[in-house]
């Protein structure tokens, strides 16, 4: 049995393994769906759902349906976050994984524009919205659940394993699409081939649900209900509320800043630079995609190592080191990318991705869980991640593209934006308290 030194509960190792596996699968499914949809939007949706538009407008419209899911994530973060805090972490994780899985699977059953006209893209938007609603609290809820089950000394390491789902999901989506594109004709792809990746989501959903059936409720949630009951009994007897320190604003501001920097770096390094390498540097598409695949494979080492070091030396310190390192590395990295040497470019981008994206992301779920009290933890973690993420990843690549275009293809604006995003994370961690190992049973926020 494992005993958390700062809490009053015990957790069996086999229960922790089930929770970690459940969180990893949910995160893998979220990022698999993310990548499946983005690839489909770029490859076939403009022809399947918007065939009467010009190629450019069809691509814009298909990407627009992609954006609808991001707006839905904000709503899902609040709605399902509240359910996670009121009814239980286990309950909300059943809802989110089912909603995501069914929505993604049903996209594969949608009729095309040729068969039902405008109803086809409308159906696509509706399913994308439901997909986004579930995703809004999935990774946050899973991160909170794993953090609340873990003991203090290895909370960061165990929590980081959930983050490996991002690499697993991305790799699986790319693998599925690669196999399809290499083995079927263009005509078959447009007729039925594009549906296969979405059917794969159903398999992942079923496996995740089967695991989550046997997962118990978070021990912190159980303890929280007891603490809230004591509060109510005290109020009923004394007629006076329990005096508590007013906290939360600084915790939420710090969480926004930490997430904003990581998400911003991700938007630039994983999304924008792919286009920059192809359109500005005029290199083959496979250069950027290969670098991302290599980076994802290396992250299977980076993420648990950073999680372990966060437990050993403190997550605040690791946040500061990694974010400052990325700010310093931004200019040399862009010089390596601008060299147009495939090997040098790949090394430069892989290092940047593992320091500025995966490395910082390895700290995120557990740190945000420790910043907030158990009373509203799932809601606040979800909102902080989604608000900052939507702003940074939604506008970051767009600003970078416009800025680079305005200065005739110079890499300098990209480096400046990476520095700004990285310093956002650095200063947020600098002004924060070190919450590493905080008692997660505490009802109140850390700051």
* Domain edges within the chain: 1-226, 244-447
Going by pLDDT thresholds of 50, 70 and 90, the confidence category of residue 267 is confident
Class of domain 1-226: mainly alpha
Residues in the chain: 447
Distance, in Å, from the CA atom of 249 to the CA atom of 255, rounded to the nearest integer, reads: 10
**Mean pLDDT computed over 340-347:** 96
Handedness of CA 112, 115, 121, 123 (dihedral sign): negative
Alpha carbon distances (Å) from 128 to 110, 192, 202, 408: 12, 19, 15, 36
- DSSP character for 282? -
The model's pLDDT over 128-164, given as tens digits with 9 standing for 90+, comes to 889 889 888 888 999 999 999 999 999 999 999 888 8
- Look up residue 254 and give its two tokens: 């710090």
| Helix/strand/coil for 247 | coil
What are residue 88's phi and psi, to 5 degrees? 135, 150
Going by pLDDT thresholds of 50, 70 and 90, the confidence category of residue 347 is very high
- Residues with Cβ within 8 Å of residue 26, at least 6 apart in sequence: 93, 96, 97, 138, 139, 142, 165, 208
**Mean pLDDT computed over 161-168:** 87
The model's pLDDT over 36-63, given as tens digits with 9 standing for 90+, comes to 877 777 677 778 887 766 555 554 555 5
The model's pLDDT over 207-217, given as tens digits with 9 standing for 90+, comes to 888 888 888 89
Alpha carbon distances (Å) from 402 to 49, 63, 420, 424: 28, 18, 17, 21
Asked whether residue 189 carries a pLDDT value surpassing 50, the answer given is yes
The CATH T-level fold of domain 244-447 is Growth Hormone; Chain: A; (1.20.1250)
The model's pLDDT over 388-435, given as tens digits with 9 standing for 90+, comes to 988 898 788 878 888 988 898 899 999 999 999 999 999 999 999 999
DSSP 209-222: HHHHHTPPPPHHHH
Q: Do domains 1-226 and 244-447 have the same CATH topology?
A: yes
What are residue 405's phi and psi, to 5 degrees? -65, -40
Instruction: Return the number of other C-beta atoms located less than 10 Å from residue 199's C-beta.
Output: 14
- Look up residue 13 and give its two tokens: 């190792």
Distance, in Å, from the CA atom of 303 to the CA atom of 354, rounded to the nearest integer, reads: 8
Contact 32, 204 (CB under 8 A): yes
pTM for this one?
0.87
Alpha carbon distances (Å) from 79 to 74, 114, 221, 261, 324: 9, 36, 18, 25, 35
Going by pLDDT thresholds of 50, 70 and 90, the confidence category of residue 7 is very low
Distance, in Å, from the CA atom of 260 to the CA atom of 233, rounded to the nearest integer, reads: 40
């Amino acid at each position: 049995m494992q005993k958390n030194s700062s809490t009053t509960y015990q957790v069996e190792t086999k229960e922790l393994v089930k929770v970690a596996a459940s969180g990893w699968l949910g995160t893998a499914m979220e990022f698999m769906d993310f990548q499946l949809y983005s690839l489909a939007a770029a490859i076939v949706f403009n022809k399947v759902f918007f065939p009467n538009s010009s190629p450019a407008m069809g691509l814009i419209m298909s990407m627009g349906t992609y954006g609808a899911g991001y707006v839905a994530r904000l709503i899902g973060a609040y709605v399902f976050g509240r359910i996670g805090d009121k009814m239980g972490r286990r309950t909300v994780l059943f809802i989110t994984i089912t909603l995501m899985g069914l929505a993604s699977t049903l996209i594969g059953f949608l009729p095309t524009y040729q068969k039902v006209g405008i109803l086809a893209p409308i159906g696509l938007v509706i399913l994308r919205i439901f997909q986004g609603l579930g995703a809004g609290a999935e990774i946050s809820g899973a991160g909170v659940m794993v953090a609340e089950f873990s003991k203090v000394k290895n909370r960061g390491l165990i929590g980081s394993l959930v983050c490996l789902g991002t690499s697993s999901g991305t790799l699986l989506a790319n693998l599925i699409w690669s196999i399809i594109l290499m083995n079927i004709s263009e005509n078959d792809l447009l007729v039925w081939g594009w549906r296969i990746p979405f059917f794969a989501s159903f398999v992942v959903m079923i496996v995740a649900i089967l695991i989550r059936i046997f997962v118990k409720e978070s021990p912190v949630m159980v303890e929280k209900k007891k603490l809230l009951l004591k509060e109510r009994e005290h109020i009923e007897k004394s007629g006076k509320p329990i005096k508590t320190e007013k906290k939360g604003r600084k915790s939420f501001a710090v969480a926004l800043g930490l997430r904003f920097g990581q998400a911003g770096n991700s938007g630039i390094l994983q999304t924008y630079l792919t286009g920059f390498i192809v359109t500005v540097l005029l290199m083959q598409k496979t250069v950027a995609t290969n670098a991302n695949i290599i980076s994802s494979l290396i992250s299977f080492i980076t993420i648990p190592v950073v999680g372990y070091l966060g437990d050993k030396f403190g997550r605040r310190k690791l946040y500061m080191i990694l974010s400052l390192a990325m700010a310093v590395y931004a200019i040399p990295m862009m010089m390596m990318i601008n060299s147009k040497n495939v090997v040098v470019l790949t090394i430069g981008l892989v290092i940047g991705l593992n320091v500025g994206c995966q490395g910082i992301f390895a700290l995120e779920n557990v740190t945000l869980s420790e910043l907030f009290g158990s009373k509203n933890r799932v809601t606040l973690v979800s909102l902080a991640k989604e608000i900052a993420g939507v702003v940074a990843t939604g506008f970051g690549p767009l600003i970078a593209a416009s800025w680079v275009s305005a200065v005739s293809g110079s890499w300098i604006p990209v480096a400046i934006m990476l520095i700004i995003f990285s310093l956002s994370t650095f200063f947020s961690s600098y002004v924060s308290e070190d919450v590493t190992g905080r008692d997660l049973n505490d009802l109140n926020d850390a700051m």
